[in-house]
Amino acid sequence: MELNDLQYKILDSLYFVEPFDKILEEVAEPENLVAAELKQMISRRWVQPMRWDAEKGDFVRSNIHDVDDMRAFRYLATKEGLLKHNGRR
């Protein structure tokens, strides 16, 4: 499956853990479109939701994701997502 332009832009912004608002800023697309695409990318395992773990002092993978509150999490491209991103010509 080929990446569309929005998916490519989202993955381009997720080499590091980023908040939803930063993704919106970087891709410069309407919030509803970015949220919908990001949800699909999470379901395809191209993007991983992350949450802050105070005990570890770092972001950790979150297996639970509230799709109604995209700002409650940070996001990071997965290995699969980065391979898709880097394989696009």
Q: What is the pLDDT of residues 38-77, one digit of tens each?
A: 999 999 999 999 999 999 999 999 887 777 788 889 999 9
**Structure confidence at residue 20 as a pLDDT band (50, 70, 90):** very high
Half-sphere exposure for 44 (CA within 13 Å, toward CB) = 19
To the nearest whole percent, how much of the chain has pLDDT over 70? 97
Q: Identify the pLDDT of residue 44.
A: 94
The CATH class for the domain spanning 5-87 reads: mainly alpha
Average pLDDT over residues 13-22: 95
Distance, first Cα to last Cα, the chain: 13
Q: Are 14 and 77 in contact (CB under 8 A)?
A: yes
- Of 86, 83, 82, 87, whose CA–CA distance to 14 is shortest? 82
Lowest mean pLDDT among 7-16, 46-55, 62-71, 78-87: 62-71
Could you state, in order of their start, the residue ranges of all structural domains in the chain? 5-87
Helix, strand, coil shares of the chain, percent, nearest 5, are: 45, 20, 35
